[in-house]
Structure 1
Amino acid sequence: MTGDLEAAQRFYGAVLGWTFRPTRLGEGFSVAMRDGVPVAGIGGLARRLGVPVAWTPYFAVDDADVTAARVRERGATMAVGPLAFGTGRAALAADPDGAVFGFWQGEVIPDWTARPGPGAAVRLELRTRDAFAAAVFYGEVLDWACERPGCCDVSYEQDHVVIRRGPDTVAVISGGAVEEAPDPQVRPRWHVHFDVPDLEAAVETALRLGGRTVSPVHTTSTSRRIALADPDGGLFTIVALQDGTGPASGVG
């Protein structure tokens, strides 16, 4: 969600190589495409809705009102909605530790999921205080791990909670965040990761266009990553693979 759709498209188009197409949600929304695959949505309504500029994961639900009631019942916060938008209804909420997320009832773009892991184009990670407690909250609110066909599976792997729908990983939940930390990279928050073929080139472009770095470069055996803020303060992370193969097409 941004305050200026055209400015956001110019920034992310240059930094991440995205192109954009309109949606049926109206003129204030667009879908970001890479190699013909939808990877993100941008809405220019932050000022109108009174919400900060931010990247926020939206999870599809069958009934937005039921989901909103579940959020409130578990001591979490409904911030906006559910409100009608084009072909569906959307809402913003904050979990018990303050991490903001959205949910959507309505038409979903085909093949639009998130696939964490090396080579994915988009990855979602919740860094929170207690990964197990967060998994219970989101599982109950979003109906994960239910017995109906099509529900997400939840597993615990190497101190992380991994949520999958079929073969695709929807999100990863990691513990250890500090609730009152002044650094937004440390507080409980949903992190969105986008792959780039050249980390330095993407950082240089972001800085030239008014963005800024908010973390040092982190290096692992498979990738290098850095957290950035766009000109309006929206936080995101870019990741470059270490083997030089570049990003594969994924969606999120």
Structure 2
Amino acid sequence: MGSGEAAARVRCVAAVPCWVSLMARDLEDAKKFYGPLLGWEFEPSPDRFGPYVHAVTGGEAVAGLGVVGGGAIPLAWTSYFGTESADAAADAVRERGATLAVGPLAFDAGRIAIAADPAGAAFGIWEGRPGRARKLDVPGAPVWIELRTPDPFAAALFYGEVFRWDGRDPERFDVRWEHDRVVLRAEGHSVAALAKEQAGGPAGMPPHWEVSFAVPDTDRALALAVELGGGAVGPAFDSPYGRVARLRDRDGARFAVISPKG
């Protein structure tokens, strides 16, 4: 997030993941990897915390990339949940025995915090310009955000209490059980899910929010990621939502690509 033309297009959607961001070791190197892989162009977005750019595809700002300090910090994509009050959400995190790592901090696009749920999965909190959920049907957009955790029901209770899932307008927001997952829907679209996976499961990861970006051809994207210096975390596979490949970038940050079903 940040100022500039792209920031004006980004909107905070309460209760659901509405932004994804990566803090890379080398911003230019990350751009050389993700740009060709996902068809991104980049717009500078000055930020008080250091260099930061918006990834843009189809005229939409779909993700942010910044620079992390220190070489020993594991790199990962962070999913930010929208909220009406970053302070209230941060208080709810602490009250439920989870970890508030950073913030809330004020910056040009609102207020943010970084937290970890009781199982250790990191996520962001964002209080910003309000908007409504919409489906981005453009290649390179984050189209599926999924929590991989040992107990999705306990996780759903935690996130439901932090982001007040109960009591919201059922015409605009609902939580359901679908394809062995707890699925969040907003404005008629499935926007995220919580799925069971043992720590150190098939992806070799502890509990985490997995970001999946849309691509026209998953197998081709997997091969391109390897050519660009990244790697595959297992073979591509078919899911209820499309064909998926779990990947890592040049610095080891993990993400996924998916060819969504119509």
The alignment status of 1:30 with 2:49, answered yes or no, reads no
Structure 1 residues 163, 217: closer, same or farther in 2, change over 3 A?
same
Structure 1 residues 221, 130: closer, same or farther in 2, change over 3 A?
closer
SS of the aligned residue for 1:57 comes to strand
Structure 1 residues 200, 159: closer, same or farther in 2, change over 3 A?
closer
Q: Which residue number corresponds to residue 104 of structure 1?
A: 126
1:101-132 deviation line (CA, Å, top 9, x unaligned):
10111236x6675679xx98521011111111
**Letter matched to residue 191 of structure 1:** E
Aligned counterpart for 1:178 among listed residues 198, 207, 214:
198
Q: Which residue number corresponds to residue 27 of structure 2?
A: 5
Q: Which residue number corresponds to residue 224 of structure 2?
A: 205
1:66-106 deviation line (CA, Å, top 9, x unaligned):
21111111111111222222232211111011111101112
* Equivalent residues in 2 for 1:1-252, closer than 5 Å: 1-23=23-45, 25=47, 28-44=51-67, 46-47=68-69, 51-107=73-129, 122-147=143-168, 152-175=173-196, 177-179=197-199, 181=200, 185-220=204-239, 223-240=242-259
User: 1:39 deviation in Å?
Assistant: 2.1
Q: Percent identity?
A: 43
Unmatched segments (≥5 aa) in structure 1? 246-252
**Letter matched to residue 230 of structure 2:** G
Q: Which residue number corresponds to residue 249 of structure 1?
A: none
Report the RMSD for the aligned CA atoms in angstroms: 3.0
Alpha-carbon distance between aligned partners in 1 of 2:77 and 2:175, rounded to the nearest angstrom = 24
What is the aligned residue count?
Answer: 237
Structure 1 residues 112, 28: closer, same or farther in 2, change over 3 A?
farther
Alpha-carbon distance between aligned partners in 2 of 1:103 and 1:190, rounded to the nearest angstrom = 13
Contact 2:149 2:208 in 1 (8 A): yes
SS of the aligned residue for 1:69 comes to helix
Instruction: Give TM-score, length-normalised by structure 1.
Output: 0.81
**Letter matched to residue 207 of structure 1:** V
Contact 1:125 1:190 in 2 (8 A): yes
Unmatched segments (≥5 aa) in structure 2? 1-22
